[in-house]
Chains A and B, each alone.
Chain A
Amino acid sequence: MTERPAENLAVRTLEAWYGESKVLHGMTFDVRAGEVVTLLGRNGAGKTTTLKAIMGLIERREGSIRLDGAELVAVPPYGVARRGIAFCPEERGIFSSLSVRENLLLPPVVAEGGMGVDRILDLFPNLRERLDSPGTKLSGGEQQMLALGRILRTGARVLLLDEPTEGLAPVIIRQIGRTIETLKTLGFTILLVEQNVAFASGIADRHYVVELGRVVDEIPGPELETRLDALKGYLGL
């Protein structure tokens, strides 16, 4: 058996700017292969920006992003995707001029081992009967499932998920949670941005707390419940 690399995704002193406003001030963290790691923190702390900076979707970024040792900080977004990182944006990014099927088939396959469409539809049965309706006619929950489902086809092993539970009803949130657990057992590496602490604590191996564009704390998964008071402080509650 080959030894697994110590870390799959390694982010070091990552800085990023929106126009002239600097949003990331040296993010440093690791996501090891097969782990589920969350970034917690209040709105505007820089969690979403971190994901976008990893994908190269930010105009200006500096620092280091390594995937299995290969530097990505100067790689354009399509290159990052082809190295096996997939991104599910907060606003879900369902294309309104594409049908559900077209949305699902849109991301090109970047590596072998992606899920088949049937398998994805088994995970999200709601989508099966809506395949030919326009993408934006779906409910919020179905849109989230589509956004998640379509990146599973590509063979990417590292998934960046931005607030997949945002604005969804509890029953849908539980379904998304079960899906992420399934993905974890399938060996996906997942970096999750969450505000929903309860959701995060049930799923993640580790949590990083982000404040003003930096990692200010690291909390092992099981300890999250016991350290809730400290966390509320971070979240500003």
Chain B
Amino acid sequence: MFERMKRIQNNMQVRLLGRVPQRWLGAALLAGGLLSGCGLQKDVDVELPAYPPQLVVECYLEDGRLPQALVSETVAYLSAPAPSVLTDVTVLLTGPTGQVDTLRFQPGQNNGSRKVYTHRGRRRLSIRPGDTYRLDVRDTQGRRVTGSATMPATVPIDTVEWQFNDKPGDARRALVLTKFRDPAGSADYYRFQVHRSNVGNNPEAEYFPDDRLLDGQAVTLGTGYEFEEQDTLFVTLYHLDQPYYRFLRSIDDAQSANGNPFGQPAAVQSTVEGGLGVFAILNYQRRRFIVR
């Protein structure tokens, strides 16, 4: 429960502000033991509304890397969790110069990120802020998903600091402060993560701030006192475009709405058209340091 609350707290501080209070109410109600432990839950048979399968695309481009895309389709929620691979899909990637690359159907898993993909390009991309790419996904059933993404501007991290609390011995912990300056005059969206030891792990802290209240100002993002001496930390600041930011928030909302009687309806806000999913170009700054 504490971890759940802490995560919500983290979100509350910087998301400024979404449906968090409703989540709190749901969490409070559940925490009150009103629902659990009294035999008040049971399995039920439900006939969920029909939902025709739609193509789902997940594709993140990065400068200097091979383009990879995962194409799948929606499945009925209560169906068995059997993996299925669509073999009749064509993926085209168009660069800022108009050059079109066909990503080959080559299912695999990236060793570094552990990400699964179905389609992969043959050459590494060279992307600069402001470059726009287009994605075109088609299958033999006539389904087509399209999307375009522009690389956001680089927002550099100015400083990363850590401070220890006054507690002795084993209770001594450090917090991390990350400072950067928000570009003035534009709506900017961020994703901030702090990983311990490896960026492939779940982040210790993660926020999704925007600059609605901080336009053009120096921004400080912090964590609680939760890091020990000699911890190796990675601080990552993603600068996001609005569609990708909305997609990230919407998948969070969609998950929260399942099981929260106070949750608002939450459709996934895809960045692509004709189906579901996300097509985005990543631009992030990362710092690695050891707390000491």
Partners in one complex: no
